[in-house]
């Protein structure tokens, strides 16, 4: 249980917020590029 609390405290910190922000931006970029990629694969 203490290990889980340590991991949560890491994500609550500055570095954790930075990592989550990068992941969120990466997901938006992938979501924006996905329709074009499927069309390219289909042709």
Please write the tens of the pLDDT for every residue from 7-43.
777 667 777 788 888 889 888 887 777 766 666 555 5
pTM of the predicted protein model: 0.50
pLDDT of residue 39: 60
pLDDT of residue 6: 74
Name the DSSP letter for residue 12.
Answer: H
pLDDT of residue 3: 80
pLDDT of residue 16: 75
Question: Can you tell me which residue has the tokens 């390219």?
Answer: 40
pLDDT of residue 27: 83
Burial of 38 (0-12, 13-18, 19+ CB in 10 A): exposed
């Amino acid at each position: 249980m203490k290990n889980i609390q340590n991991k949560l405290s890491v994500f609550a910190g500055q570095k954790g917020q930075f990592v989550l922000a990068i992941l969120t931006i990466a997901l938006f970029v992938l979501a924006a590029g996905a329709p074009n990629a499927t069309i390219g694969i289909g042709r």
